[in-house]
Structure 1
Amino acid sequence: MPTDFTSLDQPFSNQINIKGESYLYFGGTAYLGIPQNQEFLKLYIDGIKKYGLNNGTSRSNNIQLGIYNDAETVAAVRFKSEDALITSSGYLAAQLTVKTLSQHGKVVYAPATHPALWLQNQESDTRSFSDWAKNTLQLINTSEQKNWVIISNSMNNLFPEIYDFSFFLQVDPEKHVILIVDDSHGIGVNNFGSSAFDLLPQQKNIDRVVVASMAKGLGVDAGLVLASKETIQGLKNTNEFNGASPSAAAGAYAFMHAESIYKMEWEKLQQNISFLVDKLDSRWKFATHFPAFLIHDPEIDQKLLKHNILISSFPYPTKNSPPINRIVLSSWHQKADLNQLINSINS
C-alpha cells in the first residue's frame, strides 16, 4: 500500500519520517528554514512569554499593544518602503489592499496573479508576462482612461521567473498607475533577501504597493503591506483593518529581532542554490537566486520517491492537468542532502 504523505503529524524539515522510513524533503515554502531555526524559535518563545499566545482585540481598540506599530516601523526600514502595515494573514493583506485601492482606477490583472488578489474569479490568461507587459503598456498609453490599478505577482514561483516591471517607466506621465505587487514568495529571498518594493519603478505617476504573506520565507503567520505613508494610512482607516484581530504579537516580536538570522539563512540558501545549479543539467529551469527548480518530466517525482526523496508535485492549473514537478531548496538542507539528491537524479 502506498505511503500517505497527506496526514503528517510532524513539522516540516529537510527530513520526514514515516513508519520507520526516512525521506529527504525538497518541497514547501520555508525557503529560509525558519520553522526549524532554533534561534528563531527561542525568539518566538520569548515573545510568547512577553505578550502571551495571541491577541484577540482589534487594532482600533482603546487599549492596544504597541509592538504592532514597532514591527511595522521595522518592516518599512528593512524592506525600504516609506511605511508598512501588518495584518493577521497574507490573504487579508491582499484583499484589504485590492478592495480599497481598486476604487481608484481601471483594474488590470497580470497573468497567473494569485487568487488572494482577485476581486472576483479571473479568466485564464495564458500570455507570457512579457507579452502581457507590452499589451498593457499600449493599453494604458492609448486609452482615454487616466487612472489605472495594475495587479501582479512579483514572480512566478511555479515556472520560476522573476518579473521585470521597468516597462512602467514608459507609461505616459499624464497617466496615474497604482501598481500592486504580491511578493509572498520573494520577500526575504529575492533581491538579496529584501523585497520587490525598491525594484519597482520609481516615478511620480506610479504608486508602488507590495503585499506579502510573511508565512513563507519570513516564517511568521502574518500579512504585510509596503507603501507610502498616505496609502498605508488610508488602509488603516478601513473597516476591514480596524475590525480584524492582528497577528500573534510573539511572531511580530520574533520578526523584529531576527534580522541577523534571516541574513545568515539567506546566505546558506544561496550556497545551496549555487551548489545545485552546478550539478543539474539543462532540463531544469530556474530563476537566478530563487530556490525552485522545474523539470518537465511527469515521472520524476515517482523516480525520486524510490530513492526516498520527496519533491513538490501537483497538477496545475486544474486537478486534471499534468503535474508540476519541482525541487524546492531551503537553508535547512545540508550538503549531504544535496549530494544524495544529485546522485538519485543521475541514477
Structure 2
Amino acid sequence: MRLQDLSAALNELDANHRLRRRATLESPQGVDIVIEGQSYLSFASNDYLGLADHPALVRALQQGVERWGAGSGASHLLTGHSEAHQRAEEALARFVGREAALLFGSGYAANLAVITSLVGRDDAVFADKLNHTSLNDGCLLSRADFQRFRHNDLEHLEQLLAASRACTKLIAVDAVYSMDGDEAPLPALLALAERYDAWLYVDDAHGFGVLGGGRGSAVEHGLASERLIYMATLGKAAGLAGAFVAGSRLLVEWLVNRGRTYIFSTAQPPALAAAVETSLRLIAEGDDRRERLRQLAARCRERLAGTHFAGRASRTPIQAIIIGEDAHAIRQAERLKQQGYWVPAIRPPTVPENSARLRISLSAQHEPAQLDALLDLLLQAQD
C-alpha cells in the first residue's frame, strides 16, 4: 500500500468501527488498573493467575537483572544463550513432562519456527478454522499445502488427512481457543495424528498455568507422544514474557538448527529466563488460584444459562459475550467503561464476521461480587 493510501484506508476502518487504538496503562497489570487517569476494574488481561505483579516474581526479575544485566546482546547461537536460559529450558521441560524445551521471544515466533521448519512445499498442514493468526501465518509461510478443517470437526479433519498424499503432515490447533474459551479434543486429535503418521502441534497459550494442575492441556489429558509438539506462552498465566516449545530432544535440536525465528533473533533478556523457575513454583503452588478461576467460570455459566449468551460460556477463564454487530459491541464496551469496567470489544478480523463480542478474561484476583456486578450490567442490556 502506498503512503498516500494509508489515510484513506484508516478512515475506512474507522467508518466501519474497526479502527484499533491503544490504551496506555498507568499502573501495574492486575484487576485494578489506571488508564488515562481513570480507575477501572479490568476483565481484559490474560494474567489468569494474577502473577504479573506478584512480589516473588518481581524480586526474581530484580535479582536476575543484578546477576545477568539488562539484555542478552546476541542470538542464542552466538553468545546470547546464558546459563539462565539453559536452566529455564530444563525446568520447563520437567514441568510439562517432555524431554527438552526451547525458549522463544514470543508465541508468534515459536509458531512460525515450528511449522516452517517441519513442513514445506511437498507437505501438508491441517489447521482448525479458529486457530490463532500466528498459527495461520506459520502455515502460510511454510509453503505447504494449507488445509483448514471446520472447528473441532474430527470427521472433516480425517477426510482431509485420508485424501492427502503429502510427504509430511502436520495438524495445528489451539488447545484453548482465545476468543471463545472452548477447547480442542486433544486425545482424539492425537489418535488421528497416530493413524495418519502426522505431527500434532498444540498451541497452549491459554491453557498453560490453568489446566492440568497448571502444567497445561497435554498433561490435563495425559498425552505423551513423540509426535506431539507442545507450545505455551509465558506472558499470560505465567506472568512473564516469551514462550517455549517442548518435545523430544531430537525435535528441539532440529529447531535450534532450522527454526528461523530462533536462529535469527536476539535471545530474550536473561533476567526473564532467570525468573522462570519462580514462575513455575508459583504455578505449581497455585491450586487455590485455579480453584478460584474454576468457580468464577462456573458462576458465568450459571448466570448466563437461559440467555442468548449461554452457548459461549466455557470452563476456562475466557468467556465470550457475542454481540454481533461491530458498532453495537463498541457501544456496549463504552457503556461498561463509563461504569468503571474495562472489557474489550473484539471485532473482525480477529473473530468471524457478525460475531463481534465482549471478551471477559477472568483472573484469580477477581472477587465473585465483582463478576456478578459486571454480569448484572450485561444482562440488563439484554432486557
1:228-273 deviation digits (Å, cap 9, x = unpaired): 1110111112373333221111111111123332234453243144
- Correspondent of 1:242 among 263, 266, 274: 263
2:12 is matched with none
2:171 is matched with 150
Code of the residue aligned with 2:126 in structure 1: it is V
CA contact (8 A) 2:129 2:151 kept: yes
Q: CA deviation at 1:123?
A: 8.8
Structure 1 range deviating more: 305-314 or 277-286: 277-286
Seen in structure 2, the aligned counterparts of structure 1 residues 291 and 63 have a Cα distance that, compared at 3 Å, is: closer
Q: TM-score, normalised by structure 2?
A: 0.78
Q: CA deviation at 1:335?
A: 4.5
Q: CA deviation at 1:51?
A: 1.0
Q: Comparing both structures, which one devotes a greater share of its residues to helix? A: 2
Please say if 1:36 is aligned against 2:53.
Answer: yes
Seen in structure 2, the aligned counterparts of structure 1 residues 246 and 343 have a Cα distance that, compared at 3 Å, is: same
Mapping of 1:142-291 within 5 angstroms? 142-145=163-166, 147-168=168-189, 170-171=191-192, 175-198=196-219, 199=221, 202=224, 207-238=227-258, 240=260, 241-265=262-286, 267-275=288-296, 277-278=298-299, 280-282=303-305, 283-284=309-310, 285-288=312-315, 290-291=316-317
Identical pairs, percent:
20
1:109 is matched with 127
Q: CA deviation at 1:343?
A: 4.8
Please say if 1:137 is aligned against 2:158.
Answer: yes
Find the aligned partners of 2:177 and 2:245 in 1 and give their Cα distance: 19
Q: CA deviation at 1:125?
A: 5.7
Structure 1 range deviating more: 32-41 or 173-182: 173-182
Please say if 1:97 is aligned against 2:97.
Answer: no
1:128 is matched with 151
Find the aligned partners of 2:332 and 2:79 in 1 and give their Cα distance: 56
Seen in structure 2, the aligned counterparts of structure 1 residues 12 and 123 have a Cα distance that, compared at 3 Å, is: farther
CA contact (8 A) 1:200 1:208 kept: no
Structure 1 range deviating more: 56-65 or 323-332: 56-65
Gaps of 5+ in 2: 1-20, 324-328
CA contact (8 A) 1:150 1:180 kept: yes
Secondary structure at the residue paired with 2:125? strand
Find the aligned partners of 1:81 and 1:61 in 2 and give their Cα distance: 26
1:314 is matched with 346
Q: CA deviation at 1:276?
A: 5.3
Gaps of 5+ in 1: none
Code of the residue aligned with 1:294 in structure 2: it is A
- Correspondent of 2:39 among 16, 22, 31: 22
1:86 is matched with 103
Code of the residue aligned with 1:13 in structure 2: it is G
Seen in structure 2, the aligned counterparts of structure 1 residues 264 and 330 have a Cα distance that, compared at 3 Å, is: farther
Q: CA deviation at 1:225?
A: 0.5
Please say if 1:66 is aligned against 2:83.
Answer: yes
CA contact (8 A) 1:111 1:125 kept: yes
Seen in structure 2, the aligned counterparts of structure 1 residues 58 and 43 have a Cα distance that, compared at 3 Å, is: same
Find the aligned partners of 2:146 and 2:76 in 1 and give their Cα distance: 36
Find the aligned partners of 2:115 and 2:224 in 1 and give their Cα distance: 20
Seen in structure 2, the aligned counterparts of structure 1 residues 268 and 294 have a Cα distance that, compared at 3 Å, is: same
- Correspondent of 1:304 among 336, 351, 371: 336
Structure 1 range deviating more: 152-161 or 97-106: 97-106
1:144-176 deviation digits (Å, cap 9, x = unpaired): 445311122112121221110323455486742
